[in-house]
């Protein structure tokens, strides 16, 4: 099996490393330990965290031992790295709850059984730190002159808002985390986003000063879509890993809608399909490339939500957008189901139940579209309909106040559509 570092590099995970050659050697050992920190700022991770998650999964697949470190302690301080404004401080209760949610999601991607991976919370050692001893033991190793030059603080030091003292301490705490994991878990490698470079290096230096030993760091590139936007941030909000926030169907849809130019990159980063197959994507055109997008969507959904959910999402998408047949020779390692077209199902399409007596009376179209969330307000729904973007069972709705009633139902459901892509199923109860 190739070195993990090679795998990570060829799949596009590596922006920068410290001590490249020594790191290579270090990773050639049988089992090494590596950690990444996750901020508990929300109860769910979103796809912006997928790069770190996948990299830990690769580490584990290569027989090493990943540590996911939930920042229950550092979350109390707030990392200023790369942020233009200070973050709202969260309460300990919220952080605790968020940490739990995050662990659950990480378990989808990383096997925590039998100590093959470890989940830790830095609140366990940070919350009870005593100020004076910390300053004397850790603080003395840090030069403020150097810290203020760090890229992670620069943006804030230059900004109008400035840098709060509490945030200024963040680097010391993260460095201390690394030292602590070095001591207790024999962890010599930390990975993180490119904005974490300063914090990671601070940890490496701290370890060197305290123990005169070498530790390593890898940073990931900031993944942007070809239109330059940060992964995971869409105008509608983040794409969450939590199925109650972003359903598997929506998750699948997000990936299917990947820009042509991003498909190859995303397959390398967000699936485990072999690179030999992925590299061929660049040559594909229209229909074939669209198939590759379906595979990307299926594989990513499978990783986040499991086979069953992924298949359901696929079938639902196939039923409204048309089925994709497996194409021989393209991404053939994928378990993309052959029979996707044979069992179409709209079950996974977003749906709403409405009382039958309400439907008996009939509901004006623009009200219904608003009610189920296909339009934000009555005005938006009217506009949608007036502009010809509203469909009832695939027939354009011509009048904003067209009455929709049980008569419109086909085998006890109707399908509403807003624009080309947003479907919503309604059934009577």
Partner RNA sequence: GGUGGGGUUCCCGAGUGGUCAAAGGGAACAGACUGUAAAUCUGUCGGCGACGCCUUCGGAGGUUCAAAUCCUCCCCCCACCA
Binding residues vs RNA (CB under 7 A): 160-162, 227, 235-236, 253, 256-257, 259-260, 285-287, 289-290, 293-294, 317-318, 321-322, 364, 366-367, 370, 376-380, 382-384, 387-389, 401, 418-422
Structure tokens at 166: 């509490």
| Contact status, residue 19 vs residue 80, Cβ threshold 8 Å | no
Minimum Å distance from CB 255 to RNA?
Answer: 9
Minimum Å distance from CB 236 to RNA?
Answer: 6
Angle at CA 245, nearest 5°, toward 239 and 249?
70
Structure tokens at 226: 């070809």
Strands 187-193 and 33-38: parallel
Minimum Å distance from CB 264 to RNA?
Answer: 12
Minimum Å distance from CB 253 to RNA?
Answer: 5
Give the position of tokens 């330990």: 33
Q: How far is CA 401 from the centre of its chain?
A: 40
Q: List residues bridging with 192 in a β-sheet.
A: 219
For the chain, how long is the longest CA-to-CA vector?
79
Minimum Å distance from CB 312 to RNA?
Answer: 13
How would you label 284-312 residue by residue, b for 16+ Cβ within 10 Å and e otherwise?
Answer: beeeebbbbbbbbbbbbbbbbbeeebbbb
- Whether the CA torsion 108, 110, 113, 117 is positive or negative: it is negative
Judged by beta carbon, residue 103 or residue 358, the one nearer RNA is 358
- How far apart are the C-alpha atoms of 241 and 248, rounded to whole Å? 9
Minimum Å distance from CB 212 to RNA?
Answer: 41
Numbers of helices and strands, H then E, in the chain: 19, 15
Give the position of tokens 């309604």: 426
| Contact status, residue 363 vs residue 355, Cβ threshold 8 Å | no
| Contact status, residue 422 vs residue 347, Cβ threshold 8 Å | no
Q: Residue 262: which of 289, 301, 235, 237 has the closest Cα?
A: 289
Structure tokens at 175: 């460095």
Q: Residue 222: which of 56, 74, 49 has the closest Cα?
A: 49
Q: List residues bridging with 417 in a β-sheet.
A: 391, 423
Q: 388 — alpha (psi -120 to 50), left (phi > 0) or beta?
A: left
Minimum Å distance from CB 268 to RNA?
Answer: 18
DSSP string, 13-32: --SEESSHHHHHHHHTSS--
Judged by beta carbon, residue 210 or residue 323, the one nearer RNA is 323
Minimum Å distance from CB 178 to RNA?
Answer: 31
Judged by beta carbon, residue 93 or residue 283, the one nearer RNA is 283
């Amino acid at each position: 099996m190739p070195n993990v570092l090679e795998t990570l590099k060829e799949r596009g995970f590596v922006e920068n490393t410290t001590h490249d050659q020594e790191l290579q050697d270090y990773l050639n050992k049988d089992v090494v330990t590596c950690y990444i920190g996750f901020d508990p700022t929300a109860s769910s991770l979103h796809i912006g965290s997928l790069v770190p998650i996948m990299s830990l999964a690769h580490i584990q697949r290569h027989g090493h031992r990943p540590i996911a470190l939930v920042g229950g302690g550092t979350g109390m301080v707030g990392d200023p790295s790369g942020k233009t404004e200070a973050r709202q401080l969260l309460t300990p209760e919220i952080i605790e709850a968020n940490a739990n949610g995050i662990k659950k999601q990480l378990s989808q991607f990383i096997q925590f059984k039998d100590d093959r991976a470890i989940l830790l919370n830095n609140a366990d050692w940070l919350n009870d730190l005593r100020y004076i001893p910390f300053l004397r033991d850790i603080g003395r190793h840090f030069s403020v002159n150097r810290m203020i030059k760090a890229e992670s603080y620069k943006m804030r030091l230059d900004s109008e808002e400035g840098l709060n003292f509490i945030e200024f301490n963040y680097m010391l705490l993260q460095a201390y985390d690394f030292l602590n994991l070095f001591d207790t878990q024999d962890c010599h490698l930390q990975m993180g986003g490119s904005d974490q470079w300063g914090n990671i290096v601070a940890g490496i230096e701290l370890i060197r000063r305290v123990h005169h030993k070498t530790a390593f760091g890898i940073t990931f590139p900031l993944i942007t879509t070809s239109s330059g936007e940060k992964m995971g941030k869409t105008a509608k909000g983040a794409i969450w890993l939590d199925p109650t926030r972003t359903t598997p169907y929506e998750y699948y849809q997000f990936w299917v809608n990947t820009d042509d130019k991003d498909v190859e990159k995303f397959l390398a980063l967000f699936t485990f399909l072999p690179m030999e197959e992925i590299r061929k994507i660049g040559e594909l055109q229209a229909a074939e490339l669209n198939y590759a997008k379906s595979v990307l969507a299926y594989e990513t959904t499978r990783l986040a939500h499991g086979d069953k959910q992924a298949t359901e999402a696929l079938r639902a998408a196939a039923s409204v957008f048309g089925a994709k047949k497996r194409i021989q020779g393209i991404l053939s390692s994928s378990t993309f189901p052959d029979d996707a077209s044979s069992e179409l199902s709209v079950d996974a399409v977003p749906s709403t139940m409405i009382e039958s007596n309400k439907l008996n009376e009939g509901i004006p179209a623009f009200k219904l579209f608003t009610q189920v969330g296909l339009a934000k307000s009555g005005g938006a729904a009217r506009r949608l309909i007036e502009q010809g973007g509203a469909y009832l069972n695939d027939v354009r709705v011509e009048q904003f106040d067209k009455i929709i009633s049980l008569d419109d139902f086909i085998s006890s459901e109707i399908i509403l559509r807003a624009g080309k892509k947003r479907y919503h199923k309604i059934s009577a109860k």
